[in-house]
Structure 1
Amino acid sequence: MSADIAEQPAEIPLLSVRGAERTFQVGGQKIHVLKGIDMELRPNQLVMLKGRSGSGKTTLLNMLGGLDVPTKGEITFRNYPFHQLDDDERTAIRRRDIGFIFQTYALMPLLSAWENVELSLRMAGTPRAEWKNRVAHCLELVGLTKRADHRPYELSGGEQQRVAIAKAIAHRPALLLADEPTAELDSQMGAQVMAVFREIIASERVTICMTTHDPTILEVADHVYEMVDGRFKAS
């Protein structure tokens, strides 16, 4: 498996999903969470998965990131068939090419903002010589240069989320997946996070796919998929 893949033209999907279903066995009962999903993520786009809690958004997001695989169907990221790869192969791709943002921020509480971002570079195997410039750049991109030495408990919710974004993009992923990134924020902070997303897409050339049930932020998306009971609602 080659570690270097040429950047794809915008007309070629970065990720495609074909007929994806996901069934979980709960006791003696099968629960059908996803019931046939078809979608594409194209380079340098902001795509939102809209839907109520329980609609299947997070399950789908996990499969897009290779954290889970479909019971049936295909998921292809670049040239990699996620649905055919084992855990170790998907993990290697995630570490190199995919970033994750969670609504709970997932920051190390005893590390500063700078150290949290630096940690992601350590985990990705980025050469140490590149750490200082890359961390500084990512914190500047999210507007937190002056807060670099602060630990998470010294930051507001919006600032913590922006540290989480800087951490997620530090290793230069092609795809950024965000699960309800504005759910814990007020409308003003949520708008700031969305502005950061648009800036990141423009400057880092990354595709962002996020879940949300907040109708106020949908207008900034390039494409919105609405999920209802494990399926996309026809537009």
Structure 2
Amino acid sequence: MKSFRSGGRQIEVLNGIEMRLFAGRLTMLRGRSGSGKTTLLNLLGGLDRPTAGEVLFAGRPLHRLSDKRLTVVRRREIGFIFQSFALLPLLTARENVELSLRMAGVPRSQWKDRVDRCIDLVGLTKRASHLPSELSGGEQQRVAIAKAIAHRPRLLLADEPTAELDSLMASRMIAAFREIAEEERIAICLTTHDSSLWGAADIVYRMADGRIVPEN
């Protein structure tokens, strides 16, 4: 459960959520804006804490960890793809991906091969030396995806990761997510409004009014 107070009232954002994410599988959350998808991703990734209930990550109660320990877990074991891309403007695409490895404590000797792999997966090999300002919105989003998977997280969370992509590139990105999930045994959970992508998921949860609701 997740709630907050507003104007003297207790507002429930999430309630009655029960779900599991599995290594090697792609899970999608679908639903209208305001249904609670982004709030749920924030709880799953330790960016927020539940008002009641538990969030377990690899058997650990994520919501009970200290802020310091939670920061370490997020840097080393969880990948995030935000709608704002979160790229550093003075770093090239390649350097932005390298930054993820640096923050996760990955030895420098492993950076080149891993960055090459991730950049290639998102189709940006020829654009790797460009700054974010020199890339289109879709290309920036692909850099954000490469950055999020570079340190081999156990869990990858993505909020509308294909929103800036055309239908062809969106399909390619979802295919890349599936390949990454299966090859590296990562649990991937993403939100999307694009109904054409739902069939590519292993599991789809439909959300409405802060709850997971059964399909009609």
Is the shorter-chain TM-score for this pair beyond 0.5, marking a shared fold? yes
1:51/1:228 contact within 8 Å kept:
yes
Could you tell me which runs of 5 or more consecutive residues in structure 2 were left unpaired when the two chains were aligned: none
In the other structure, the counterpart of 1:202 is 182
In the other structure, the counterpart of 2:39 is 59
2:25/2:182 contact within 8 Å kept:
no
Report the CA distance between 1:66 and its aligned residue. Answer: 0.7
Q: Does 1 or 2 have the higher relative contact order (CA < 8 Å, sep 6+)?
A: 2
Q: Which residue of 163, 169, 173 corresponds with 2:153? A: 173
Could you tell me which runs of 5 or more consecutive residues in structure 1 were left unpaired when the two chains were aligned: 1-20
Give per-residue Cα distances to partners, 1:106-140, cap 9 Å, x unaligned.
21122111100011111112222222222122212
1:103/1:184 contact within 8 Å kept:
no
CA distance in 1, matches of 2:66, 2:152: 23
Is residue 2:75 matched to residue 1:111?
no
Q: Which residue of 12, 18, 22 corresponds with 1:42? A: 22
CA distance in 2, matches of 1:110, 1:23: 38
Report the CA distance between 1:199 and its aligned residue. Answer: 2.1
Q: Secondary structure at the match of 1:126?
A: coil
1:111/1:151 contact within 8 Å kept:
yes
CA distance in 1, matches of 2:70, 2:7: 28
Of all paired residues, the percent bearing the same amino acid is 64
Large movers: runs of 4+ above 3 Å: none
Aligned length: 215
In the other structure, the counterpart of 1:157 is 137
Q: Secondary structure at the match of 1:40?
A: coil
- 1:1-235 → structure 2 map (5 Å cutoff): 21-235=1-215
TM-score, normalised relative to structure 2:
0.94
CA distance in 1, matches of 2:201, 2:83: 18
CA RMSD of aligned residues (A): 1.4
Give per-residue Cα distances to partners, 1:41-84, cap 9 Å, x unaligned.
01111000111000000000000001111111111111210122
Report the CA distance between 1:33 and its aligned residue. Answer: 0.2
Report the CA distance between 1:185 and its aligned residue. Answer: 2.5
CA distance in 1, matches of 2:56, 2:50: 11
Structure ranking higher in strand proportion? 1
CA distance in 2, matches of 1:66, 1:195: 27
TM-score, normalised relative to structure 1:
0.87
Report the CA distance between 1:154 and its aligned residue. Answer: 2.2
1:158/1:190 contact within 8 Å kept:
no
Report the CA distance between 1:93 and its aligned residue. Answer: 1.0
Report the CA distance between 1:181 and its aligned residue. Answer: 0.9
CA distance in 2, matches of 1:97, 1:173: 4
1:73/1:83 contact within 8 Å kept:
no
Q: Secondary structure at the match of 1:162?
A: helix
CA distance in 2, matches of 1:89, 1:126: 18
CA distance in 1, matches of 2:133, 2:33: 28
